[in-house]
Amino acid sequence: MSSRRGFLRNILAGAGAFASTKLLSAKEIPMPGDQPRKNPVGKREIHEPEGPPPPVETLDIPNLPFRMDGGVKEFHLIAEPVKRQIVPFKMMDVWGYNGSCPGPTIQANQGDRVRIVFENHLPESTTVHWHGLEIPIAMDGLPYVTQKPVPPGGRFVYEFTLHQEGTYFYHSHGAMQEMMGMIGMFILHPEKPYQPRVDHDYGVILQEWAILPNNTIPNTANMEFNWLTFNGVSAPATTPLIARLGSRVRIRIVNLGMDHHPMHLHGNQFVVTGTEAGRSPESTWRRENTVLVGVAQARDLEFDAKYPGDWMLHCHLPHHMMNSMSDLLQNAAVVEDRMIMTTATNDSQALSQMQTLANSVPFQHVHHAPIAENANDVLGFPQDAFMDMGMDEAVAKPETHGLPRNWSANMMGMMTLVRVLPPEKYDEIMDLKRRGVIDQPAPSEHHHHEDHDHH
Ligand SMILES: [Cu+2]
């Protein structure tokens, strides 16, 4: 019980750290589109545009603060080892920037002069490449070709003018370092606000990792990946994207890994309004609900949030909709060569497996979904039967407020919820966020599975 409290405290401390980062950046980063707004291309059906466009929110990742030096926006970017809790029961030792993996989001405006003072706190040399930016060759971050590698303890000053707009990213130009997590988003807000205006603007970085049981360090040479993340966390630890009913939503998705990810949104159609090369002309927008985000690509999606509900956004590759359960099996006699296989083939095995996990991490869980009496007589069983792993309490945050009990049981891998909420529900969550209140799901009775009886 005390360890559970400690765990919640850690979560709270983490949330506080993120909150303060957000406050800092909110103060330091001017809102895009300061210029007066014209009412554009006719009337929107469901809402009237008002105010400047919102800043981009890369949930679970802070913004990189800056200071003004004359007319130059100066950022400090530090490459360093980072500990990242991917889900409540799994920690990763990865590399990133400024204590975050992926690195903090850089937001600037089209036309800005920026200086990025880069320091290398890694045990090996590195550089920073600005993916898609049209900048002088000396700033391109290609080791030996455009600059000397930045040695451990060394620094390099990148400085350039941004004439583009859109969704970009920065990354190390070493293949293994990329797979250790060294990427961050770089948002260029347009001089003239995009039309139509959006009310919510979210950023998501897709990554994948190969981490063996009882290990915390990604195997960067591996070709099979057992952990798939949005902004450095796997579902159900991913923070839901919150949207007010009747608003327009943009989601910017960037992919750096070994696989392409078909990203699917439930219950809505969106249009792809931009790529890694910036905004696309409206004549090219087409309706889709699944968009392939290839390696090194960015895709901006927009849709009108007119259907209330908790709509899932996820990679549709089946293996990217799982978390490695092999960590569960550390005490089991058999670990199959399929890293994601469960060794449980019946009720009591599955329940004791769940109890093992529940004991190792202080979270409340519930039982798996019902199975047939003769399940074990059916060839192929089990498939999804024992994958359910509810952990509502351990991943609770303001954005999960009001989700149905055990919502987290089927959330795994590259997955999150887009919660389209009526105004009063939306305001309630915004209020919880402002006050930094962690939502606590209704408690249910504690028990051990040894005492479990069927119901
Ligand atoms: Cu995928």
pLDDT at site 4: 38
Instruction: Examine residue 102 and say whether the peptide bond preceding it is cis (omega within 30 degrees of 0).
Output: yes
Distance CA 399, CA 239 (A): 7
Q: Within 10 A of 128 (CB to CB), how many other CB atoms are there?
A: 25
Residue 25 pLDDT exceeds 70:
no
Residue 70 CA to ligand 1 center (angstroms) comes to 44
pTM of the model: 0.84
Report phi then psi at 47, rounded to 5: -160, 155
Residue 72, Cβ density class (10 Å: 0-12 exposed, 13-18 middle, ≥19 buried): middle
Confidence of residue 20 (pLDDT cuts 50, 70, 90): very low
Distance CA 420, CA 116 (A): 37
pLDDT at site 185: 98
Beta partners for 158?
Answer: 116
Structure tokens at 125: 């040399």
pLDDT at site 352: 76
Q: pLDDT averaged over the chain?
A: 83
Residue 317 CA to ligand 1 center (angstroms) comes to 5
Residue 19 CA to ligand 1 center (angstroms) comes to 29
Residue 314 CA to ligand 1 center (angstroms) comes to 8
Residue 253 CA to ligand 1 center (angstroms) comes to 12
Residue 442 pLDDT exceeds 80:
no
Residue 58 CA to ligand 1 center (angstroms) comes to 19
Please give the average per-residue pLDDT across 133-141, as a whole number: 98
Dihedral of the alpha carbons of 268, 102, 409, 16, in degrees to the nearest 10: -100
Confidence of residue 101 (pLDDT cuts 50, 70, 90): very high
Residue 316 CA to ligand 1 center (angstroms) comes to 6
Residue 101 CA to ligand 1 center (angstroms) comes to 19
Tell me if 262 sits within 8 A of 290, measured CB to CB: yes
Question: Who surrounds ion ligand 1 at CB < 5 A?
Answer: 261, 315, 317, 320
Residue 361 CA to ligand 1 center (angstroms) comes to 27
Residue 300 CA to ligand 1 center (angstroms) comes to 17
Residue 195 CA to ligand 1 center (angstroms) comes to 30
Tell me if 278 sits within 8 A of 393, measured CB to CB: no
SS (H, E, C) 238-264: CCCEEEECCCEEEEEEEECCCCCEEEE
Token look-up 């960037």 returns 254
- pLDDT per residue over 391-441, tens digit each? 898 899 999 999 999 899 889 999 999 999 999 999 999 999 999 877 666
Residue 138 CA to ligand 1 center (angstroms) comes to 34
DSSP output for 225-237: --EEEETTB-BTS
Residue 269 CA to ligand 1 center (angstroms) comes to 20
Residue 158 CA to ligand 1 center (angstroms) comes to 33
CA angle 30-39-250, nearest 5°?
Answer: 55
Lowest-confidence range among 81-90, 161-170, 339-348?
A: 339-348
Residue 228 CA to ligand 1 center (angstroms) comes to 8
pLDDT at site 251: 98
Residue 315 CA to ligand 1 center (angstroms) comes to 5
